[in-house]
Amino acid sequence: MAKKHVYYFGAGKAEGNKEMKDILGGKGANLAEMAGLGLPVPPGFTVSTEVCTLFNKNKQRIPEVVKREIERNLGRLEKTVGQGFGDPRNPLLVSVRSGARASMPGMMDTILNLGLNEKTAEALVAKTGNDRFVYDSYRRFVQMYGDVVLGLKPVHKDDLDPFEVIIERKKRELGIHSDTDLTAADLRDLVARFKAAIKEKTGHEFPADPMKQLWGAIGAVFCSWMNDRAVAYRKLYNIPETWGTAVNVQTMVFGNMGLDSGTGVAFTRDAATGENTFYGEYLMNAQGEDVVAGIRTPLPIADLRQDDPKAYAELEKIRHILEKHFRDMMDIEFTIQQGRLYMLQCRVGKRTAFAAIKIAVDMVDEKLISEREALARIEPDQLNQLLRPVFDYAEKEAAVKAGRLLAKGLNAGPGAASGRIVFNSVDAEAWAKQGKQVILTRIETSPEDIKGMSVAEGILTARGGMTSHAALVARQMGKVCVAGCGELAIDYAQRRITVKGKTLNEGDWISIDGTTGQVIEGKVNTKPSEVLQVLVEKTLDPAKAFVYQTFAKVMAWADRFRTLKIRTNADQPDQSRNAVAFGAEGIGLCRTEHMFFGEGKIGPMREMILADTLDERKAALAKLLPLQRHDFAGIFEVMDGRPVTIRTIDPPLHEFLPHEEKDQRALAAQMGIPFEKVRERVEALHEFNPMLGFRGCRLGIIYPEITEMQARAIFEAAAETKKKGIEVEPEVMIPLVGHVKELANQEKIVRRTAEAVMKKQGVRFKYLVGTMIEIPRGAITADEIATVAEFFSFGTNDLTQTTLGVSRDDAGRFLIPYVEKEIYAKDPFEVIDREGVGQLMRMAVEKGRATRPGIKLGICGEHGGEPSSVEFCHLIGLNYVSCSPFRVPIARLAAARAALLNAAKPAAKKAVKKRPPARKAAKARKKARRR
Ligand code: PEP
Ligand code: MG
């Protein structure tokens, strides 16, 4: 049987269906589906996407066999509608529209009213008795065809449309202003002028023969698959060129035949809020383009109930049929021609993140879809809309339209914030105390800025990437953050920002959108998150919080399907409490260094760093011990028996010292030592590349007393908590390990301390000692490291930095262009670089499990809360991911989706299969103990 290229639909029958989007395109497949359902679709046929490929390969010619098939289908169409194509008594008019597999709005060409010529136009006048309507349709047809097929277009982008120029001239001649004042005779004259202009400028005679018109139009739509707009759009949305577009040839119906006609677009539910109400707009006596063009203001769909009760009732019925059939919210286009309703298009409707969640959940309640399908339809990041404050949508749109968009940076901490610009942490605190909302605006942040960050509404930086200090601390605090916004020139001395020729001073209002990275001049109001008010602030009754209830359902379903555990990165009891409220099952990373910036701690910490002798250092550490113990006890209590991974100190010591002379002088005075000593020590601690310098386990190896103090604080806090009847499960984690001996060195101190504390306190508790895998050597020798480590936690921030050789704090400047140039598909500090960093992780998982089959494996780099990276962690068989508190719900959903999507590939099992015989593993462990 010959290959089929053309698919007919109409009169309750269709050769295609909704599953055939590949060959019929989205529009064609759904037209066929609607026709098959018996809905009132104007009959027609779809020329398949494969013909587009043949056409563009075949010197832009429609193959003869396809032409014959089209002719046969045209004959069938004539029979169905009882009209003849080009028939001078009863003419059939058609539309010719594009329709690719994926929607590409406005990218390709469309021609309406095809089949009109001098004779058919007259026939139509006789039939309708409405000459103005006929010549207006004819005018539109010649204009569209002249542009799309015959190529009479503006020469330069900024030139006026040549057809509009002719219309304007005509109106001037007549002394009229509005198109609606043009009479049938005027429009007829315009048709003649258009044709003459086409002939003069392009050399083409306007074809009178409808068949010639049809071949030209089909060819032009296929050609439009390759136009610049379509090519650029495909590149942006990763649509392959090989897909091609289909062409839909369909009987014309008219919404501009009088007051009993009309046209409209609608969504089967509210696309903005997700409410189950019919939502859309229409215009009587109009064509589709009038609704879109905004010349007349369309009416809300509910008004159609009065304008045309019969059509409205039918639409309501169709709305329910479509939702039941497609099991989704649909976007429809319809036309009413002299009181008869026609469906011109339907497709799955685009919606806001908020509506996506609400619709998915409601449809489960309505038994339209399963819980699994609902989870598959909600993108994890969409949950941010429920968890974070958001801008008042209309206000933000208005601000952007008014030219107040200043710049775009990295969307480092989602949510919306508005506040007054301040340039340092001290001012942020002072202004916040006066009740002012502030945005802390820094070139980059450092641990010294923590307090300012915590009181600010949001944080804006000019430098730094997705794992820079500002980004990761902001996320942990649940703050809105736009980082690495290189267009901002921040002048601390003058206290001002210059950007795009504008100057903003300290105290001016600025608004930042941490979900999109946009920075907007002035104030834009925000709305608080209902979920936050219920779960964290506890100021809203869950029974009255409908958004919260939707959220809670999604979370409950997600927990049913996921296999990954979700932990959090937190180093304060309040952060831990938030995370538990969001569903965290443990702490995957407590960065102890963050704790040293709390009230009263930075002093002894600096004493410890400035100490000259072991005794001096020990004295300072003794002051820190109770402070740390108190912090850990607070966290253990909140975590109530859940595992808590605490990492020993990691950053280079200079980060704890003041860098400005006035602050150094203050420190010297406070400690009663000469200023020179402080300055010398700061200088001595200066490193050229501190990220690769004296940090991580290197600190604890050179100063074992620091590790010992921290271990003691952890275990004493554990003992204290256990004595209160609360279970504890501490996991001590050593950072930046590249060699097993580094870990063994630190492990010895930790275990010795644990035993001593348990003995002295007279309690026993379970604890683990493990390591971060965050430099390549650690991953490569993971089998050796696992002889000591009871768990691995992938520090993918540093692992990305060291594997790629890209500084996480300086990447902002070039990573955005890198991604634009498609060197990396995504920012590797945001989404795990599966081919590079991911390979090292996979290797470490396999090697770690080979040595120690039961080893606990997790991730605590910022990727742990990013949906695609969570999926990767699921695939390589990690036990848990750990992320900042506000990302916990996102990770829960991402983990469920990863499990559902990859149900056929249980990756964890694959890794297990590669384990060596138990004897070999036991031998390896014994060998390690001898080290
Ligand atoms: C990491 O490197 O991924 C990590 C979690 O540690 P930090 O960000 O504190 O260096
Ligand atoms: Mg690290």
Does residue 93 contact residue 213 with C-beta atoms inside 8 Å?
no
Find the 788 Cα to ligand 2 centroid distance in Å.
Answer: 20
Find the 860 Cα to ligand 1 centroid distance in Å.
Answer: 7
Q: Name the closest-CA residue to atom 10, ligand 1.
A: 798
Residues 720-748: what's their mean pLDDT? 97
Does residue 143 contact residue 172 with C-beta atoms inside 8 Å?
no
For residue 678, pLDDT over 60 is answered with: yes
Any long-range contacts for 124-131 (C-beta under 8 Å, 24+ apart)? 124/91, 124/93, 127/90, 128/257, 130/257, 130/258, 131/184
Query: Which among 445, 446, 476, 591 is the best mutation to test ligand 1's pocket, defined by most ligand atoms within 8 Å of the CB?
Result: 591
For ligand 1, whether the C-beta of 797 sits within 6 Å is yes
The phi and psi torsions of 217 (rounded to 5 degrees) equal -70, -45
Q: Name the closest-CA residue to atom 6, ligand 1.
A: 795
Range of lowest pLDDT (129-138, 392-401, 846-855, 861-870)? 392-401
* Percent above pLDDT 70 for the chain: 96
For ligand 1, whether the C-beta of 798 sits within 6 Å is yes
Amino acid at 534: V
pLDDT band at 930 (very low <50, low <70, confident <90, very high): very low
The residue count for the chain: 931
Give per-residue pLDDT as tens, 158-198.
788 899 999 999 999 999 988 888 999 999 999 999 999 99
For ligand 1, whether the C-beta of 588 sits within 6 Å is no
* Percent above pLDDT 90 for the chain: 72
Q: Name the closest-CA residue to atom 8, ligand 1.
A: 797
Number of H helices, E strands in the chain: 39, 34
Can you read off the two tokens belonging to residue 11? 């009169």
Ligand in nearest proximity to the CA of 859? 1
Ligand in nearest proximity to the CA of 476? 1
pLDDT the model gives residue 822? 85
For ligand 1, whether the C-beta of 631 sits within 6 Å is no
Residues 887-901: what's their mean pLDDT? 97
pLDDT the model gives residue 105? 72
For ligand 1, whether the C-beta of 650 sits within 6 Å is yes
pLDDT the model gives residue 814? 87
Range of lowest pLDDT (263-272, 384-393, 910-919)? 910-919
Q: Which residues are catalytic?
A: 469, 860
H or E segment at 440? strand 438-442
Q: Name the closest-CA residue to atom 4, ligand 1.
A: 795
Find the 754 Cα to ligand 2 centroid distance in Å.
Answer: 25
For residue 913, pLDDT over 60 is answered with: no
* 840 vs 545: CA distance, rounded Å: 45
Please state the atom number of ligand 1 nearest to the C-alpha of residue 774: 2
Find the 796 Cα to ligand 1 centroid distance in Å.
Answer: 7
Find the 776 Cα to ligand 1 centroid distance in Å.
Answer: 14
The burial of 128, by beta-carbon neighbours within 10 Å (0-12 exposed, 13-18 middle, 19 or more buried), is given as middle
Find the 823 Cα to ligand 1 centroid distance in Å.
Answer: 24
Q: Where are the alpha helices (DSSP H) in 640-739?
A: 661-671, 675-685, 697-702, 704-723
Give per-residue pLDDT as tens, 86-135.
999 999 999 999 999 988 877 788 899 999 999 999 999 999 899 999 99
pLDDT band at 69 (very low <50, low <70, confident <90, very high): very high
pLDDT the model gives residue 922? 47
Give per-residue pLDDT as tens, 528-540.
888 999 998 899 8
More confident residue, 157 or 569: 569
DSSP assignment letter at 829: T
Mean pLDDT over the full length of the chain: 91
Query: Which among 774, 806, 833, 881 is the best mutation to test ligand 1's pocket, defined by most ligand atoms within 8 Å of the CB?
Result: 774
pLDDT the model gives residue 11? 81
pLDDT the model gives residue 848? 98
Ligand in nearest proximity to the CA of 862? 1
* 865 vs 732: CA distance, rounded Å: 22
For ligand 1, whether the C-beta of 882 sits within 6 Å is no
DSSP characters over 17-82? -GGGHHHHHHHHHHHHHHHHTT--PPPEEEE-HHHHHHHHHTTT---HHHHHHHHHHHHHHHHHHT
* 812 vs 801: CA distance, rounded Å: 13
For ligand 1, whether the C-beta of 591 sits within 6 Å is yes
Residues 427-443: what's their mean pLDDT? 95
For ligand 1, whether the C-beta of 858 sits within 6 Å is no
For the chain, report the end-to-end CA distance as a whole number of angstroms.
75
pLDDT band at 870 (very low <50, low <70, confident <90, very high): very high
Find the 402 Cα to ligand 1 centroid distance in Å.
Answer: 41
For residue 851, pLDDT over 80 is answered with: yes
Please state the atom number of ligand 1 nearest to the C-alpha of residue 801: 2
For ligand 1, whether the C-beta of 795 sits within 6 Å is yes
Please state the atom number of ligand 1 nearest to the C-alpha of residue 860: 5
Q: How many CA atoms lie within 13 A of 728 on its CB side?
A: 28
DSSP E strand boundaries for 485-569: 489-491, 496-499, 502-505, 509-513, 518-521, 526-527, 565-569
* 587 vs 791: CA distance, rounded Å: 14
Residues 615-625: what's their mean pLDDT? 94
Does residue 597 contact residue 447 with C-beta atoms inside 8 Å?
yes
Range of lowest pLDDT (154-168, 324-338, 723-737)? 154-168
